[in-house]
Structure formats: C-alpha cells, structure tokens
Amino acid sequence: MKRFFYLSLIISLFILLISCEAEFDPKVDLQEVYILNCIIRCDSSYQIATLSKLYDVNNYDPMSNIVDPSVKFAKIVLTDSSFSGQKEIYQFRDSSVARTNNSRYSTPQNFYYIKNFKLTKPGVLKIEATLPDGRILRSSSFTVPLDKYSVNYFHNDNPKYLSNGSLLFDWSNVKYELDYVKPYFLPEFIIKYSQFESGNWVKYQTKIPLSYTNVNGEEVPIYPEIESINRKISYEPEVIRKTIEMISKNDQDKNNYKIEKVVFMLHVLNNNFATYISLQQHYKSDFSISVIEPNYGNVWGGFGLFGNMHTIQLEVPLNNLIGNK
Amino acid sequence: MQYLLSHIIIIVVLLINTIDLNAQEKGILRGFVSDSLNSEPLPYSNIFIKEINRGTTTDYQGYFIITALPSSKVTVYISYLGYKTKSLDVKIESGKISEIKVRLSPTSIQIDTVEAISKRVINENVSDLGLHKIAMRDIEYLPKGIELDPFRSLQSLPGVQSGGDVSSRFFVRGSSSNENLILLDNATIYNPFHAVGVISAVDPDIINSMEFYKSGFPVEYANRLSSVIKINTIEGNKNSLRAKAGMSLLTGKLLLQGPIPNGSFVINGRKNYTDAILKKFRNNNSLPVDFFDFYAKINYANDNFIQGAKFSFSTYFSGDKIIYNNPKREDFTWDNKFFAFNYFQITDSPFFFKVNISYSQFNGEIIPNYSGNKKIKNEVGDVTASVDFNYIFDNNDIIIGGIKITDIKTNLRVRNYLDFEDNQDVKGSSLSAYLKYNLLRFSFFDFDIGSRFHVTRLAGGGPSFFTEPRIGFTVKINPELAFKGSWGIFMQDLVTISDENEVVNVFEPWIITPGYLTPSSAIHYNAGLEFNPMNNLSIKLEGYYKIMHNLALLNSLRTIYNPDYFHSGSGKAYGLEFLTKYNYWIFDFSASYAWMNSFRNDYGITYHPRFDSRNNINLTLITNLGDGWITSCVWNFASGTPFTQILGYYDKLGIEILSDTPFLLDSYYSFMVLAGRNKGNLPDYHRLDLSFSKKIELTNIKLEMDFSLLNVYNRNNIFYFRRDTGERVNLLPLLLSFSVKVEI
C-alpha cells in the first residue's frame, strides 16, 4: 500500500511538473535598422522624406513607445536622371513641424524636404540617404510620365451622366509617355466640407464610396481599389446622397455644415507605390495566421518606400453632383 | 547519372531473367484469406509452412502466393491477430498451383506461438524499409479525438510530424504535406480533409487496411517526393445484409453492406450535424462548417464470366462549406470526388495483373464577399489508367511491371491585389512505365532493383523524359537480425500554392508545375536494422537522408515585376527512427522515437521549415481487459517547432486618403519586424490521451462504445503566438469525447 502511495505521488508530481505551460521568448535583441520613406509627387515642387529607426517595447504594444524614433542630421540626395541624358540633383533639408497629434510623441515631427523640384522628362529617380553613422540607404524608381494632352482631354470629357443618374468617370484616354512603365490608378471621389465648431469653420473631407453594404445593421462603405485594367468608375446618386447625409447625420442643425467642393482625384502611381498600397490592404482570412508578415519595401540597406505619383484633379460642380435622372 | 542507372537496371533484370530460365520447376501454393463472418479479405495475414520454415503475408486483397515448394504434403498455418489460427494440410504438386481459400473465425484469444513464429520469418523476408502496413483493427482502439481518424493514427509513427491537434495533415520525414500521395481505391485524392483539416475526409469504417511508405516507396507509385498512403477499402459483407450506424460529437453516419449476385456492395455516408465541438479546436472561435462524405462500391467476381477475375467499381464524394452569412467575411467551399474501376486477374500460372481506371476531381473556392480577401478558384481533374503485372518465378524471384497514363487538368484563378485576374489553365499528360525485379531466391539476401521511365511529363521545364531508378536490399545477418537499405530518385510535377507558413490551410490549391520551373525531384537514402530477439518483441531502427531539388517554394517576394507564384528552392532532411513493439499477456506496448532534421533553402537563405520538430516520442499501451473491454493510453512528445521571433517595431507609412498632402508626415502606424526566419522555437508539445472501448455482441446486434479523454493533464500546448497582442493561443484543452456504433 505504501509503495502504491509513493508511486501515485511520483506520477502526480511528474504530471504536475510537465503540465505547466512552458515559457519561450518571442523576441530577439533589437538591432539598428533604419527606415526611409519618400513619395515624389511628380506634379509638385515640394517633396518630403522621412527617416526613422527600429525600436522595441517591453510588451507587445508598439504604441507604448513614446520616444520619437525619427533620425536627424542625415544627408539625403535625390537624383532625377531622364532617359534623354539630363540629370538634376537635389539635396533635402532637415526640418521639423508641430505634430497634428501629440498623443504619442511630444517632440515635433522631424522631416526632410526640397521645395524646388521639377520633373522635366521621363526617367529614373534615385534617392540616397547617408546617416550620421555613415550607413547608406538607397532606392530608385521609374517615373510615371503622363501625356499632358490626354490629361486635358480627360478634363474636358468628364464626368458623364448615365441613364440611371450615376456619375461616370472615364480615363481610358489618359496616356503616358513610356509604354513600358505601367501606371496604376487609384480613384478618389472626395467631398471637402467645413463644420462650424466652437465658433470656427473647421475643414474636413470625406471619401464617397462605390457602395455601402449592410453588416449587422451597420452601413459599411466599399471603396475602389487600385485599378490597372479597368479604366472607368461610376458613382450612384443614392450613394453620393447617403455620403452627404452621413456628414451631418448626428447633428440636428444642418447649418453647421458647408460643402466647399467635390473633387474627383485620379492618382496615378508607379509600380512600387501601387504594390505598397496593395499589400497594405492585404487581407488575411481568419484561418490565415502566417508566421511571415508581408513587409514590402524597395529601400536597399533598410526598410521603407521610395515611389512616385501624379494626381489628376477634376472638380465636379455641386449642382451637377447628383445627376438629372 | 539516373539514365545510366536505368539502363543498368534493364540489363540486370534481363540477365537475371536469363539465369532464371534454368530454375528447377517446383510446386506453388496460392490462396485467399478472409473473415468467416463477412468474407472480407484479411490483409497482411500470416501464412507459414512449418516443414520448410517459410512463410509470407497476404496482400491488401487477402491473396498470397508461395513458390518453389517441394512436392510433398505440407501443413500450412494461417493466422491473423484477433482470429483463430487455422492449419491445413495441402498437397504440393510439381509444376502445379495448389489453391486454398481460408476463412478465419474472429476470437478474442491473443496471438499464439505459431503466429508469432511465422511473423518473425515473414518480417525478415521482404525489403519493406519505411513501410507500415496498417489493418484498421490495429488502430481502432487508439484514443480517437472526436472520432477515429486514419490519418491522425499515422501521426503516432516515428518520422511523421503532426499538423497539430487541430489538423490531420501530416509531414513525413522532413517533407511538406503536398508531397504525400494519398490513394483511395488507387485513385488520387487531392484534399482529403474536412473542417480545415480537423478530421480527414475518409471515413475509417470504409477502410480495410492502409499501406504507408514513409520514403523510398517502390516504383509502382509515382509523382510524389515524400510518402505514399494507399487506402484499401472494404469489399462489403458477402454473407448477409448488415447496417451500421454511428454517432460522435461531430458526425452521424450510416454504413450498409451486403451480398449481391456474385459479389457485394458497400454504401457509406457521413455528415456533420453540429460544429459546436470544433470551437474547442479553434480557441473557442466558431467554425461554421458543413460537410459530408459518401462512398459506394460494388464488387463482382464470377468464374463463369471470367475465371480468376475480380472487378470493383467505387465512387466517392466529399464536400465542405464554411459559410459565415456575413458579407464582411469570406466563405469557403471545397469538394473531392472520384470514380474508380479496378480489375484484378489471377491466372493459371503465378502471374497476375491489375487494371485501374479512375477519374478524380477537386474543386475549391474562396468567395471573398466584401471581406477584402481575394477570390481563389481551383479545379483539378485527373484521369488515370494503369496496368500492373506481377510474375513469380519458381525460384521465388518476382518481376513487376506496369504502364500508367495520367491526364491532368488544373485551373487556378486568383484575383491579385493589383486587380489582375491570374488564370492558370494547364493541361498535361504523363506516360510512364516501370519494371522491377525482386531477387528473393536466397535465404540470407533479398534485393530489388527497378525504375520508372517517364516518356512525357505533365508540364514544367526540363526534359520530358525522366527516370526514377530505385534499389532496395535486405541482408539477414542471423535469423533475428536483418540489415536493410534502399535508394531512389523521385519526381513530382504537381504543386500547391499553399503557404507553409500559414498555421492552418483551409485547402491546398493544386496546379501543374508551371513551365518556368523544373519539376521537383528528390533522392532518398534509407538504411535500417530489424531485430526480433523474441517472439513477442520487435525492434526497428531506421535512418534516412533526403536531398530535394527544384522545390517549388512560394514566392514570398511576389510583386508585379516578379509575378510568379513559385521560385525554385532546395531542401534536405535526415533523421533516425526507433520503433519497438512488445506484447505480453493482455498488454500490447509500443514505443517510438524519432530524431529529425529538415532544411529549406529559399533565396539563398537556409532555414528549418515550420513543421521541423527535432525529437518525437510516442508511447502506446493497449490493454485487453477481456469481455469486450479494451483500454489504451498514448503519450506524445514533440520538440517545439520553429518560430520566427520579433526583431523590433517601426512606424510604417500607412495611407488612407492619398489626397491628404502631408501623409508622409502623419500617416503612420506601428509595424512589427520579424527576425531571421524560423530561428526561434515554440515550447515543446506533449499530451496524454486515454480511451476506454467496450464491444457488446447480442444475437444480431453489435454495439461499440468509446470514451476518449484527450490531454488528460490539460497541458497548455501552444498552437500559435499572436505577436500583435502577445496572446498565446493554445491547442486542445482537456476534452472528453464519446462515440457509439450499432451494427445490425
């Protein structure tokens, strides 16, 4: 009996010991890795770049980091090399600006800028950032040169009104100067409005979706995604009306709102930028728990993105917004 | 190199045949062993002739043949675990085939001495390295999870790594799950899993036996790199009409079987009636799955029609749906189906042949709704026709050959994140033939040499002509000890686009290897020792080394400039396995240990794949308490699998509205950066399961009840770690499972 008791005790202790939850370390020691971001707006002279570094936190909530990870005193150079042999070199300047949101970092936002950029011809843009410790980050991308005549044609020919009152935007005639540099299109239809708050008119904007879908009683907007083949998009009057109504939905006094203008924007992105945005929208199903998270970038020596874009803007007159059905 | 080897093989086979022409003519014994109650064939029964101390086992159809017997009267012992051993006096005549048909009666009496002796002799006489022959009755008393699962039972074998408590998928000797060939009635099943893999889609009640080759599989099988599971179904009760109904915590099922003129039939259906239990497998998240499987088979054998012929026609359907009824979530559907015709012919000489014609189809679809997920649609259609023959010479040598024609069509439609619908519609035909010679004439040495010759391949780059030479041997050092070895080249030109880094794959979309890749190939080296020091004790030690070339690895850097799904990688795997079985009185004990290493090389970086577990231990004790009571106890241990750790975080550019001019200044979100791929390890896994089974037999009714207690000490085995929240998601907790079957 005694032997049985001891045997049971040993087995119980063994089971107790092995049934504990084993610990493991999900992190490795932090390493010095830098991140460069720069999206050249080909239709603007003012360009911005940001530089930051990797950080760690004591838990798994990166938002608990309140130490600004931005990197100052780097030398950033942008080179515009056209295919016709022209070459322009621009050096970014170090600057900072007050943050719109101070909830996380209390210091100003550091950034780098140039304000005299002018894209002349199609070609290759290159960026090189030399960090204070001598490390170098590099990247390059083809520009997406738009044919300005086709852009004018787009302005003259849009929008159209379909028989059901929908607004149609068609950019099938928008051309680009180089056939082998493929552009990607992301349309945005935006209502810019002002709201009267605390004695001031504050400016806001909201995107008009393609449609709304009802999910558990809630209207969820469905926005257009990046297009490369499809070159037209239409907005139904009911959707536009609903978006306008939602601006002032919870306010009885509709006089607190003024629609300033409604703008259709066609963003033309180069492949790096389009890929980056696409992967940002990358969706994983409930069963997709991958050990490898996509982290697209095109910066050699670190992380980040170097891309470029054009934007074609078309203001839609307010009185034509919801078509004459 | 492999062409040269193939030529050598042909020459060797021809030479050996020439030598054999001078062999002395002796007598042959051929037979068929079946269950006396239902006439179901008894695969892997032991046949032993005491006078000459020789024996064999029946094949999966219950047939056996022994050649080169002296012309005299011999006593043949026929035994099978769980059946009463029978002995027959048979007169062997020179130059003739003596035929016997044996019907064994079930009994609860344990293995007797004659059976144990014959088993020993038989084990030493075949080159079966890496092969496990599993009769369903061998696994029906193991703890069952929700219900008995044929694939999950394989996971207790050394060298087989489980996909976790939530998945019946498995990885064999360091290879990916899509490198396992799964055959049901000789037809390939492409995704034989229900409910994202929680249970397999083949109902164990239709299975008679399984043959599982862990590597170095023979030339009869083609188009996979790693392993083969051949599932042999039941033929149906030839004596009386029987119905069997069963219910578990997940499914209800009905099996009908009975005689027809000159044959038998089987009809089996299984359907889930709830998904509540599946929450336990998914950390209490719902899995609104709806699935079924259906199997039907007709067997026909009439000597007045064709003497010695046996025909079977079988069909199988399975379907799964995961429907959320939520437009913001994607839905999933997938189904398998096949039709198979099998013709088996024995002749007046020790020659038999088989003809198989099958059509197998798989369809899978991800329906994105408004989830943001992208549509995936996959279709596979596989028409296969094959002829296999087998001739046994008087000196016991065997020559095996065959021709196989496969016509496969795969279609994959994927809408990617840049608005392209990628439609890969590929059709390919494969014509191959094989020839193998088994040198079994010597008592101390067996040798088999053969090759499969592919005249055309399905697709992919590289030459269309490809050979797969294979060699195996057994050296009997003494009656108790045998040394075995095998070597072979294997090819696969079908791949899946599932990501091995995904913790769970709902289904694996298959495509023919794209033209920009050379089909994958592997070289297997296997060696082993088999030691049977006592009648009731067996010990096996096996080692393997595999080199894998042109592995189709998912292109993790896929972009518009590099749009291919795959790129070519490589891999290797090696390991040692130990398996011992011991039975004494009412106890049946087995212990296995595997030490495994697996590597992949992707874009020049070598890493351990996610399923690579270094040490695996499995201990099983089955106790027959008598009076229909059987208990079993299984303890599993597996070293922690590779895990990619967190390197740090950075503020990543995240853009919602492009028209926001200063998005580069304030549109950031925190992003996690991962360290070296699979450089870390998850904690070790271990679990203890118990089960209690009771069989009650009344006059015309059989009742089987099973209670399984899973994860007895409620070990918190990790399933995956959510790096974004720090949450640790664990596998199955302590769970009581119950199933009942009634047969009338």
pLDDT of residue B293: 96
B579 to chain A, minimum CA–CA distance in Å?
Answer: 24
Distances from the Cα of B137 to the Cαs of B55, B204, B294, in angstroms? 22, 10, 22
Q: Which chain A residues are closer than 8 Å to B671 by Cβ?
A: 62, 295
Please answer yes or no on whether B373 and A303 come within 8 Å at the CB atom.
no
Q: In this predicted structure, which of A139-148, A212-221, B294-303, B632-641 has the lowest mean pLDDT?
A: A212-221
Q: What whole-number percentage of chain B has pLDDT above 90?
A: 40
At B6-58, the pLDDT tens digits run: 555 555 555 555 444 444 457 888 899 998 888 888 888 888 888 888 888 88
pLDDT tier, B1 (very low <50, low <70, confident <90, very high otherwise): low
pLDDT of residue B171: 92
- A74 burial via Cβ count (<10 Å: 0-12, 13-18, 19+): buried
pLDDT of residue B108: 58
For residue B571, give both structure tokens.
């891999």
The closest of B57, B65, B68 to B126, measured between CA atoms, is B57
Average pLDDT, integer, range B87-96: 87
Using CB atoms, which residue from B326, B651, B716 is nearest to A52? B651
At A160-181, the pLDDT tens digits run: 888 888 888 998 888 776 666 6
- Counted across chains A and B, CB pairs separated by less than 8 A come out at 222
pLDDT of residue B585: 85
- Please provide residue A87's backbone torsions phi and psi, each rounded to the nearest 5 degrees: -140, 125
Using CB atoms, which residue from A190, A285, A295 is nearest to B330? A285
Higher pLDDT: B540 or A213? It is B540
Containing H/E element for B123? helix B113-124
Distance between CA atoms of residues B628 and B703, nearest Å: 10
pLDDT at A284 exceeding the cut of 80? no
With CA atoms as reference, the chain B residue closest to A295 would be B673
At B211-220, the pLDDT tens digits run: 999 988 999 9
Q: What is the CA radius of gyration of chain B?
A: 26
Distances from the Cα of A246 to the Cαs of A180, A243, A255, in angstroms? 43, 5, 14
Please answer yes or no on whether A289 and B671 come within 8 Å at the CB atom.
no
CB contact at 8 A, A128 and A137: yes
- Please provide residue B462's backbone torsions phi and psi, each rounded to the nearest 5 degrees: 80, 175
The closest of B254, B235, B233 to B244, measured between CA atoms, is B254
Per the prediction, chain A carries an average pLDDT of 83
pLDDT of residue B25: 58
pLDDT at A159 exceeding the cut of 60? yes
Containing H/E element for A272? helix A271-280
pLDDT tier, B292 (very low <50, low <70, confident <90, very high otherwise): very high
Q: Which chain B residues are closer than 8 Å to A35 by Cβ?
A: 650-652
pLDDT tier, A54 (very low <50, low <70, confident <90, very high otherwise): very high
Please answer yes or no on whether B505 and A59 come within 8 Å at the CB atom.
no
Q: Tokens 């950390």 belong to which residue?
A: B283
pLDDT at A138 exceeding the cut of 90? yes
For A12, other C-beta atoms within 10 Å of its C-beta total 11
pLDDT at A183 exceeding the cut of 90? no
Using CB atoms, which residue from A271, A290, A303 is nearest to B560? A271
Distance between CA atoms of residues B718 and B720, nearest Å: 6
Measured in whole angstroms, the distance separating CA B467 from the mean position of its chain's CA atoms is 24
pLDDT of residue A111: 93
The closest of B691, B500, B534 to B607, measured between CA atoms, is B500
Task: DSSP letter for B151, please.
Answer: H
pLDDT of residue B12: 53
pLDDT of residue A294: 63
| Structure-derived torsion over alpha carbons of residues B92, B97, B98, B100, reported in degrees to the nearest 10 | 150
Average pLDDT, integer, range A265-282: 81
pLDDT of residue B185: 94
Distance between CA atoms of residues B618 and B637, nearest Å: 6
- Please provide residue A297's backbone torsions phi and psi, each rounded to the nearest 5 degrees: -165, 165
Residue type, B20: D
Q: In this predicted structure, which of A185-194, B229-238, B370-379, B486-495 has the lowest mean pLDDT?
A: B370-379
pLDDT of residue B8: 55
pLDDT of residue A288: 45
pLDDT tier, B115 (very low <50, low <70, confident <90, very high otherwise): very low
For residue B730, give both structure tokens.
């664990």
pLDDT of residue B580: 95
The closest of B549, B628, B715, B644 to B108, measured between CA atoms, is B628
Q: Which of B418, B505, B621, B712 to mutate to test the interface with A (most CBs of A within 10 A)?
A: B418
Using CB atoms, which residue from A19, A28, A35 is nearest to B650? A35
Angle in degrees, CA A90, A91, A95, rounded to 5: 130
* E runs forming strands in B157-274: 160-162, 170-172, 180-184, 187-188, 193-194, 199-200, 207-213, 227-233, 242-247, 251-260, 263-272
Using CB atoms, which residue from B328, B655, B677 is nearest to A215? B328
pLDDT of residue B93: 86
Average pLDDT, integer, range B137-146: 74
For residue A63, give both structure tokens.
């938002």
Q: Which chain B residues are closer than 8 Å to A231 by Cβ?
A: none
The residues, any chain, with a CB within 8 Å of residue A3's CB and separated by 6 or more, are none
At A1-24, the pLDDT tens digits run: 566 667 666 766 666 656 566 678
pLDDT at A317 exceeding the cut of 70? yes
Task: DSSP letter for A45, please.
Answer: S
Most confident of A30-44, A208-222, B48-62, B125-139: A30-44
pLDDT at B537 exceeding the cut of 80? yes
pLDDT tier, B417 (very low <50, low <70, confident <90, very high otherwise): low
pLDDT of residue B111: 45
At B558-602, the pLDDT tens digits run: 555 566 777 888 999 999 999 999 988 889 999 999 999 999 998
DSSP assignments along B333-352, one per residue = EEEEEEEEEEEEEE-SSSEE
pLDDT at A198 exceeding the cut of 70? yes
Higher pLDDT: B540 or B425? It is B540
Measured in whole angstroms, the distance separating CA B566 from the mean position of its chain's CA atoms is 26
pLDDT of residue A324: 45
pLDDT of residue B21: 41
pLDDT tier, B197 (very low <50, low <70, confident <90, very high otherwise): confident
Q: What is the CA radius of gyration of chain A?
A: 27
Measured in whole angstroms, the distance separating CA A304 from the mean position of its chain's CA atoms is 12
The residues, any chain, with a CB within 8 Å of residue A102's CB and separated by 6 or more, are none
pLDDT tier, B168 (very low <50, low <70, confident <90, very high otherwise): confident
CB contact at 8 A, A218 and B408: no
Q: What would the 3-class secondary structure string for B63-116 be?
A: EEEEEEECCCEEEEEEECCCECCEEEEEECCCCCEEEEEEEECECCCCCCHHHH
Average pLDDT, integer, range B179-203: 90
CB contact at 8 A, B716 and B226: no
The residues, any chain, with a CB within 8 Å of residue B388's CB and separated by 6 or more, are B220, B353, B354, B356, B400, B401, B402
pLDDT of residue B501: 64
- B215 burial via Cβ count (<10 Å: 0-12, 13-18, 19+): buried
pLDDT of residue A4: 61
Per the prediction, chain B carries an average pLDDT of 85
Angle in degrees, CA A21, A25, A30, rounded to 5: 165
pLDDT at A55 exceeding the cut of 90? yes
CB contact at 8 A, A93 and A117: no
pLDDT tier, B181 (very low <50, low <70, confident <90, very high otherwise): very high
Count of CA atoms in the C-beta half-sphere (13 A) of A123: 16
pLDDT at A48 exceeding the cut of 50? yes
Q: Which chain A residues are closer than 8 Å to B664 by Cβ?
A: 37-39, 48-50, 111
B692 to chain A, minimum CA–CA distance in Å?
Answer: 21
For residue B663, give both structure tokens.
């998005």
Q: Does residue B616 come out as left (phi exceeding 0), alpha (psi in the -120 to 50 range) or beta? A: beta
DSSP assignments along B649-669, one per residue = EEEEE--S-TT-TTHHHH-EE
At B658-700, the pLDDT tens digits run: 776 667 777 888 888 888 888 899 999 999 999 999 988 887 8
pTM of the model: 0.81
Average pLDDT, integer, range A294-305: 86
